[in-house]
Structures are given as structure tokens and as C-alpha cells.
Structure 1
Amino acid sequence: MVSMRRSLVAVVALVVVTPLALAACGGDEDKPTPAAWVGTSPSVAPSGGVPESGVAESGQTGGTSAVSLTVTPATGKKNVPVSAEIGFKVSGGKVTTVALKDASGKAVAGALRDDGSAWVPSKPLKTSKKYDATVTAVDSAGVTKTASTSFTTMGKPGKRTGTGLYLFDDRTYGVAMPVVVEFSPGIKKKDRAAVQKRMFVKTSPEQPGAWSWTASGTQAYYRAPNYWKTGTELSVRIAVGGHPTGGGRYGDQDRGATAKIGRSLVMKVDNKTKKMTVVQDGKTLRTLPVSLGKKSTPSSSGTMVIMEKKAATVFDTTAELGPDEGYRTEIEYAQRITWSGQYVHSAPWSVGSQGRRNVSHGCVNVSPSNARWLFDKTLIGDPITVRGTEDKLDAGNGWTAWDMSWKEFIKGSALPVPAELAAQEGA
């Protein structure tokens, strides 16, 4: 197997993914490109938090209000990040409206966090600009109280953290598609909680989930305890544009997408029988003979996810292994399942071995006819589980969010997971 290599792919608005040469059963030079932010949307918050405290001017109407209300950022504060939220502490009533305007009086769109702790603008504020915010709360008698503040945002940051989102608008994905966010450089542990608070996911129908970070902090996955339900709509906003990410860096931009989950299709590969079972919506469609990695280059055992599909490509390991050990081969119906270069693909040269013995460099070999049939059936995000090989899948070698129990997965969250959600039985 070729050693795993990772590099952040530059992301720009309205990305178009173009085919590139692949490293066969090893290497990740052309991993799929993350999607870019495609618009603005109200924030959907899995958790809340009040920004730094500060008391603002206040007023009331209709009599003496029982409400106590403070608002942040503090009045007159300068160099505020453009990711600023309008935070508030309220007692004796509840907040009913939040209004934020720029220096020209133009209203800024936004939404309350689910826990009501703050109001989040629907996109980053502009740099070096003054903003005015007014928060209105009401007590049980209907008497209102307002608090106002004004602040000025910071200039353009000198250092940025690159970000990527592996989700595209209006696409349909498999039931195991995690929300995958990438950071370059990675986010250190002490900074992850603040960043995670700005990573919003909404599902319809509702299926609460959690975030989990890789050890390096270069990726974070979001999933529910079990595979998504067919027909689920995922609405994602990674609202880190201009947000502090640690080390004097700030997120490069907001990213987001709305996508759907399709039918359930699950692939299970058993090394003992050398067969793949393909199950759609609970019904076995076909059992395919396979050849897995030979002992010197074993396939990884674990639950993986299809990350990329190419009907025709080239596997080329000569640059990495040299002309004597490397090879360059044209491949059809290649479906990537790890960053280190394991694929499910057509292998006409190993048909005689499929179902009998392992001869590949780590990939899952199937016949040309079976490869095309499978390629036409699958979606990005469909799960494939391989069992019984000599090698175990490494965490982070692909979208490995499902290669751990739910209890293990939530240990990677930088924020506390609600007890009811943590207690659920997951895959």
C-alpha cells in the first residue's frame, strides 16, 4: 500500500470538479474537492453560548418592566470579529426581537440560536464597519424593555484558516453521508469548542446528531446515531468566515449547502467468502465475487463510505513508488473508499481469482459487468463494510465517521453532547 498523503484542495465559489489521474490503490493526490458556500441562510444552532459580557443602554415601554437585559458586544467595542453574534442575558422575561443595522441603516438578516442565547447574522459582517443592535424583551405582563449597543468590526485578518465542505447543493447522497468539514491548518483542541459552536446542521425530518473531530483537527464529521432516513434533507452552514480559529487566524469564509438523502444501499464484503452482498432498502439485490488485497497489501477492514466515483480513470503509482515498483493502469468504474487509495473497481485481469483468492493492491476487485452494475446503483455516501482482512481501517483514512460506535464517536466532540442524545443506541 502507498502511504497516505493529505493536502487541502483550494476551494472557490461554485466549484467545478474536473477528472485527474489517480494513484491506484494508494495515494490521495486528487481527493474529491469540498463544496463552497453557495448562499446565505438563517443560522441553525445545535448549541449556544453568550459572547463576552457587557452592559448596554436600555429603555422600556408600557410601565415598569420586570425584565433585566444586557447585550453584547459591549457599547463602543472595536476590532470585533465579523462573525460577531448579538448576545444577551435576560431574566424576568424573554427576548422577542433583535435588530442589527449597518452604518447606512440597512437591516442585517439573522436568526436566534435554538437555545435563545444569542442572535446570529445570516452571513459575516463587513470588515471595518460600525453596527448598531437593538434587543427587545417582554415580561409576563406584556411590558417591554430594550437594550442597544454599537460596535465596530475589525479589518481584514492577516492570517486565515482554509476551510472546505464536502457537500454540494441539490445533490442526493447515500444514507451514511457524514457532514465533512476540513480545516487547513487543523484546529487545535483548545480552539475547537468555539469553532464547533459556529457549525450548524439542520435535518428534516429531525434526526439529532453530533460533531466529532479527527485527532489532527483537520476534519470534523457530523452524523446521527444511525444512518440517515431516506428522504432526509440536510441543511448545513459552517459559519466560520472571519471567526477566530486560534493562533491569530480567522476562518476564510462561510460555507454551506442543502442536500438530500436517497434510498438505503449498503454493501458488505466478507473476506472469508470473498463475496460482496448488496442490500437496498432491506432487500438483497446481488452477491458479487470479489478479490481483495493480497497479504503484502491487504484491504482495510472497517466501515467506509464511497467518497468519489469515476467511470474511467488512470491509476498511477510510478511517481510514488518509482518505475520499477509502480504501475500505470487504465481503470473503469472506480469508487474511492479511503484517502490511502483503496477503491471498488472493475478488474478484468483478476476475474479468475474473484471469489477464490486475494490478488489486489488493497482494492476491492469485481468483474467488469458487476463493476458497471454497482457503479450505476451507488451514490456518494453509500456505506461499504469490509470484514476479516489482515488490516484495520485507520481513523481519518477516508470518511470514517461510521467506523466507530456512537459512544466512541461522540467522544470526539469539543462540546458536551446532551445526555439524551449521548444515551441513544447507535450503529
Structure 2
Amino acid sequence: MGMFARAGATVGALSLMASLALTGCGDDQKKAEFVDGAPAVGSSVAAETGTAPADPATSADPTLKVSPADGAKNRPVSTEISAKIPEGGKVTDLTLTAANGDKVEGRWRADGSSWVPNKPLKFGTRYTATVNAAGAGGETRQGTSTFTTMAKPKSMIASGLYLFDDKTYGVGMPVVTEFHPGIPEKDRAAVQKRMFVRTDPPQPGAWHWVSNGTQAYYRAPEYWKPGTTISVRIALAGIPLSNGKYGNVDRSATAKIGRAFEMKVDNATKQMSVFQDGQLLRKIPVSLGKKSTPSSSGTMVVMEKKESTVFDTRDDPDPANRYVTEIDFAQRLTWGGEYIHAAPWSEHVQGRQNVSHGCVNVSMAQAKWLFSQTRVGDPITIKGTERKLVQGNGWTAWSLSWSEFVKGSALPVPEGGAGPALA
């Protein structure tokens, strides 16, 4: 689960020390200005540009200026390129080339504020950015900048992405990123601007930070549409943070969302209702956590599945809760140890009485069937218990309403959610 171990399971343009730096930049390092506020054209849609000198009538116009500034040194490998052009002009083409001649591919931000390389730049390397623009009178203008990236830093954070290429997940699967140590609050907006999500079909979304900045979740206002493709790039490599650390690597994945499968558990009836594509498949008697160890009420998702495992709670401070038990068909719901699993020892009270240590107990036969149906990311909602689900105890992105969820974003979220950050 994820790209590094945790408890038995496995900044943006604003953060850069270039034109969009967290710590500020040169005097002339500002965002591009475009006609009527329209975004800049991507480098793959370049217009023809000539090399004729500017019209004398416009020769006094300010020179097109590229950021990072020419001669800049020790730029982060997360550097983005931007330009300031004379009023009324527009960018027609941008290229970024390494000293060895290799061309860097990239995309414009959706708002046209900067151009983002598709991959982190290389450490200790000289790059030349060339920007062509058309002036208000149709004349061609060009600006260039040669800058050098910094050496590889010694102090980096660790990070993870709980999404994997070519995997199919449930409709409740949030995009989950993890950071160790956590991202300082003052840096989260900058980091969030470097976390890119695109969905097909398009669905708006937002990020939400939890657990002191050690995790961030991305979700849409509603569950993902079945069949959605989610493409993610967590462009963390080289991002400078205020604590002196830097992002370690870029992580990316493209995954699919499968059919709509959902489980709903009501403590009042002690029944689980299982739905697929909106149709009730079956009802399953359950036994939830007893009063001293109640199950959590809220919406969770299946985080991992183990056909067989061992629950070992010998380190629990309460002797009454210490045990070592072999478990079949276990499906993790929280980091704290709540699962759906087979509990043949409680079959006689399932549907009538809560006797578990917080898990959702079902019969051996029902557990086997359910295990065969579910995917990681399938949502389960439990209601009516004595304990409310704690944010961050599992992938809790759906335990909040949309209006509450967007409050956890480090950046403003448009009503209804944000679209993709890159054009």
C-alpha cells in the first residue's frame, strides 16, 4: 500500500525560487500578461515567427522578459517558466533546452501563468528558455534566459502516492498522497499547486489536508463516475520547503474506476446493505463493536484486502483487548485496525448484538462472497454507533460533506470544484 511503509501498510508555482518562488525572485519576474486575460498558447501550438526587426514605431516597447532571469543560478528542479511581455501581446511559442541539446517537453498551466516541464529538471544542469511572442501590432518578439539548476540537496522529505498504474479501483477511491515529515502549513498551498489531477470524463475536484500535513486527499463532489480514468502527477521533486527540506521525487499514476459498489451498515438493524450500480444485491447480518470498543460511524473505503492474516493486539493497554487471532477475508477500513472480516465465533449473534472490538463481523460464507466482490476504494458507510470516524484514520475523504471538505484545501476552490490545473 503506497510507495513506502507506514504502520504496517506501505511548491506549485508559488513554491519555486524562480519566477513563482516561495521566497521571492528578481525584480522583473512576474507572470505573463495576455490579451483579454486569455491563457497562453501551448508550445505545441506554435505560430510561425519571423526574425525581422521590430517595427520602429514599437521599438521603444519593453523587452520581452523571461523568468527565471538570465544568468540565474541554483534554481530548483521544479522551476517553471513564465514571461512578461508588452501589453497587448501574446506568447506564441516556448521552448526549453538543456545544455546537451535535449528539448524539455511541458504544458501551460490552465490560467496561462507559467509553463510546467513534464518531468523534473536535472540537478546541476544549464537550461535555455526561449519565448516567442506576437506584439499588439503583429510584430515578432523574442526573449531568452539561460539559468542553472541547483545541486541535489541533502535533506529531502519522503512521500507516497496510494494509486498505481493500470489498477481498477472503487468509486470512492480518493487520490491519497503522503509526506514524512508533514508539509508545514505555510508551504501547503505551494505544494498543492504541484499536485496535478486530470479525469476522463472531466469531473471537478479539490484537495484536503489532514493529519498535520502528512496526508492530502483529492476527490470530486460526488463519487467518481464508473469507468473514469484518473491521471495523477505529484510533482514534488526539488520543491523547496520552509523547513530547509526539499521534495524527493515526482510520482505519477493512471488508474481506472470500476463499477459502482457500495456498502451501507446500520447499527440500529445490524444489517449491511450491499449495492451495485444502485441495485440492492443482498443484506448481510453484522456484529459491530461493543460499547467499550465501538465501530466508527462515517464513510470509509476499503484500503487493502487480505484473504488471511493474523490480528495481534498484545500491545493494547487494556488486557481485555489483547489477543492473537487468525482472520479470514479481512478488508481494512482504518489505520486504527477496523476491518470487515469473517468472524465465525460471532455468527450466532450477528444481526442481533455487537460483540466485536470495532470491526464489522460477518459470517464466513458472507465474508467470502463479499471479499470476491469488492475492490480497494469501494465505500462503506456505517451509521448509528457510539464513535465518530476521526479524520485521517484511514482514507476519510468521504466522511465530510463537500462544503466541509473544501475547507481543508490550501488554495481557494471554485464553487463546484476545480478543473485540471494544466491546459
TM-score norm. by structure 1 comes to 0.85
One-letter code of the match for 2:225? K
2:8 partner letter: D
- What is the deviation of 1:106? 1.4
Q: Establish whether residue 30 from structure 1 lines up as the match of residue 8 from structure 2.
A: yes
In structure 2, C-alpha distance between the alignment counterparts of 1:178 and 1:256, rounded to whole Å: 14
CA–CA separation in structure 2 for the residues paired with 1:245 and 1:204: 32
Cα distance in 1 between the residues matched to 2:347 and 2:90? 68
Q: 2 CA distance for matches of 1:9 and 1:235?
A: 16
- Show CA shifts across 1:341-389 (max 9, x none): 0000000000001000000000000001110111111111111000000
Calculate the aligned-residue CA RMSD, in Å. 2.5
- TM-score relative to the length of structure 2: 0.86
The answer to whether residue 185 in structure 2 is matched with residue 189 in structure 1 is yes
CA distance in structure 1 between the partners assigned to 2:292 and 2:401 by the alignment: 29
Given that 2:123 and 2:151 are in contact with CA atoms closer than 8 Å, whether structure 1 keeps it comes out as yes
Task: Mark the runs of 5 or more structure 1 residues left unpaired by the alignment.
Answer: 1-7, 12-16, 18-27, 34-43, 423-427
Q: Which amino acid in structure 2 is aligned with residue 30 of structure 1?
A: G
Give the corresponding residue for 1:370. Answer: 366
Q: Do 1:67 and 1:139's aligned partners in 2 also have CA atoms closer than 8 Å?
A: no
Residue 260 (structure 2) aligned to one of 257, 264, 267:
264
Question: What is the correspondence of 1:295-306 to structure 2 with a 5 Å cutoff?
Answer: 295-306=291-302
**TM superposition shift of 1:75:** 1.0
2-structure distance, mates of 1:140, 1:265: 55
Normalized per residue, which structure has more strand?
A: 1
| Alpha-carbon offset, residue 116 of structure 1 | 1.3
- Secondary structure, aligned partner of 1:206: coil
Partner of 1:114: 110
| Identity score, percent | 59
Match of 1:72 among 57, 67, 84: 67
Q: Bigger shift: 106-115 or 335-344?
A: 106-115
Per the alignment, in what secondary structure is the counterpart of residue 250 of structure 1? coil
1:25-424 map, 5 Å = 29-31=7-9, 33=10, 50-51=20-21, 52-53=25-26, 55=28, 61-62=51-52, 63-64=54-55, 69-90=64-85, 91-139=87-135, 142-321=138-317, 325-419=321-415, 421=417
What is the CA distance between 1:245 and its match in structure 2? 2.7
Displacement, 1:325? 4.7
| C-alpha distance in 2 between matches for 1:181 and 1:397 | 14
SS at match of 1:318: coil
Paired AA for residue 417 in structure 2: L
Per the TM alignment, residue 10 of structure 1 is displaced from its structure 2 partner at its CA by 6.1
Looking at structure 1, the residues matched to 411 and 181 of structure 2 have their Cα atoms a distance apart, in angstroms, of 21
- Whole-Å separation in 1 of the counterparts to 2:318 and 2:357: 16
8 Å contact from structure 1 (residues 86, 120) kept in 2: yes
SS in 2 for 1:244: coil
- Per the alignment, in what secondary structure is the counterpart of residue 88 of structure 1? strand
| Counterpart amino acid of residue 170 in structure 1 | D
Give the number of equivalent residue pairs.
Answer: 386
Displacement of 1:122 in angstroms is 1.2
User: Using the alignment, how far apart are the partners of 2:415 and 2:381 within structure 1?
Assistant: 29
Summarize the Cα distance change of 1:139–1:418 in structure 2 as closer, same or farther, 3 Å threshold: farther
Q: Residues 324 and 363 from structure 1, CA distance in 2 versus in 1: closer, same or farther, beyond 3 angstroms?
A: closer
Q: Which amino acid aligns with 1:253?
A: V
Q: Structure 2 unaligned runs (5+)?
A: 30-48, 419-423
Tell me, in whole angstroms, the C-alpha distance in 2 between the residues paired with 1:255 and 1:359. 42
Q: CA deviation at 1:420?
A: 5.0
